[in-house]
Amino acid sequence: MRFAPTLFALAFLAFALPAAAEPNAGFQVIQVPDPQGPPIEVGVWYPTDAPATAPARGMGNIKVAYGAPLQGQKLPLVVMSHGNGGWFGGHYDTAITLAKAGFVVAALTHTGDNYKDQSRATDMANRPRQLHVLIDYMLGDWTEHARLDPKRVGAFGFSSGGFTVLAAAGGEPDLRRIEAQCGAHPSHYECQMVKRSPVGAEAFTTPWTHDPRIRAVVSAAPALGYTFKAESLKALTQPVQLWRAADDEILPDPFHASAVKAALPASVDYHVVAKARHFDFLTPCDDYARKNLPVLCASNPDFDRAAFHHTFNAAVTAFFTARLALTHP
């Protein structure tokens, strides 16, 4: 049997040449100036062809290429907002997955609502404002801003961060609904927070910061879902992927994710995760977290958080890939 020389050569090359290597995730920590407060600490993950050498401090055992050069042009940007008392590294496995898929991911540590400082934990309007400051910086002042595509910006948030990205993308929550909700459910998590640190009167008059550059939103277990109604979400016209933990012990159903689902159009990409608890959206726990942060690691005994994150990260990446596709010149 004889083969055409060209076909034989192509077949030989297909077997002889190694497959194109998957990009690694580069990583850096930056300080973003904030005109209304101290600099905002931000972790940035991005695609690179440099070798991944070691895990970033405090972020498990997934290797990254610390300080490596950025690979690519016209890259999409995803900003991340953590939950109450969190930090920029709370979703590092999701960020790394996105970076390897070609995204630049910038996750901030919210000033006044993080694991070191809870002084502004109930100042919810400050969160989308800080996210806006981060987008401004990444698209205008970051050292590699010219390699980002300002028309391809997504936002990912969890818990209070899930609330944050909905507001930043156009939602107009009504915080006055908290009083009635907490009157009926005083033991709920957010009601205990408000009891310790009451919402100031200015919270009801401060305008919400919206950022029209956000083109797609992923909101996981959003807090204060009952403060949104269909009318207050009518300006949020971007595609939304919404996640709910079926056994959420912190933000119980139907007051949060389900309330947001009811207020959004039917086109929302909605996922209910069977047997998941609230903190299962955080990166799977390593030995340090299991020992020192057991509350964050208390999954249901028959729930495999690591296996879920394989599915979760793939779904989030697929959503942003499809919704932030390069469709302009």
DSSP for 160-201, please give it. HHHHHHHHHTT----TTHHHHHHHH-TTSHHHHHHHHSPPPG
In whole angstroms, how large is the CA radius of gyration of the chain?
21
Average pLDDT over residues 281-286: 96
Distance CA 306, CA 321 (A): 22
Average pLDDT over residues 273-289: 96
The pTM (predicted TM-score) of the whole model is 0.92
296 has a pLDDT exceeding 60 = yes
Secondary structure (3-state) at 74: coil
Superfamily of structural domain 27-43+67-176+204-323: Alpha/Beta hydrolase fold, catalytic domain (3.40.50.1820)
Predicted local distance difference test score (pLDDT) of residue 9: 40
Structure tokens at 257: 């994710």
Average pLDDT over residues 40-59: 96
Distance CA 196, CA 270 (A): 33
Confidence band of 329 (pLDDT split at 50, 70, 90): low
Predicted local distance difference test score (pLDDT) of residue 15: 40
Average pLDDT over residues 75-82: 98
Distance CA 211, CA 135 (A): 9
Distance CA 80, CA 89 (A): 10
Distance CA 14, CA 8 (A): 10
Average pLDDT over residues 66-85: 97
Closest CA relative to residue 167, chosen from 272, 175, 42: 175
Distance CA 59, CA 44 (A): 13
**So where are the chain's domains?**
27-43+67-176+204-323
Q: By percentage, how much of the chain surpasses pLDDT 70?
A: 93
Predicted local distance difference test score (pLDDT) of residue 6: 43
Yes or no: say if 82 and 161 are a contact pair by the CB < 8 Å rule.
Answer: yes
3 has a pLDDT exceeding 80 = no
Average pLDDT over residues 75-87: 98
Yes or no: say if 219 and 165 are a contact pair by the CB < 8 Å rule.
Answer: yes
Average pLDDT, the chain: 92
Confidence band of 23 (pLDDT split at 50, 70, 90): confident
Average pLDDT over residues 305-329: 92
Confidence band of 62 (pLDDT split at 50, 70, 90): very high
Cα–Cα distance list, 290 to 36, 60, 286 (Å): 36, 11, 6
Predicted local distance difference test score (pLDDT) of residue 327: 65
Predicted local distance difference test score (pLDDT) of residue 206: 85
Confidence band of 18 (pLDDT split at 50, 70, 90): very low
Predicted local distance difference test score (pLDDT) of residue 328: 58
Yes or no: say if 153 and 137 are a contact pair by the CB < 8 Å rule.
Answer: no
- For 68, half-sphere exposure in the C-beta direction (CA atoms, 13 angstrom radius) is 24
180 has a pLDDT exceeding 50 = yes
Predicted local distance difference test score (pLDDT) of residue 16: 44
Closest CA relative to residue 131, chosen from 78, 66, 206: 78
19 has a pLDDT exceeding 80 = no
Predicted local distance difference test score (pLDDT) of residue 205: 80
Predicted local distance difference test score (pLDDT) of residue 21: 63
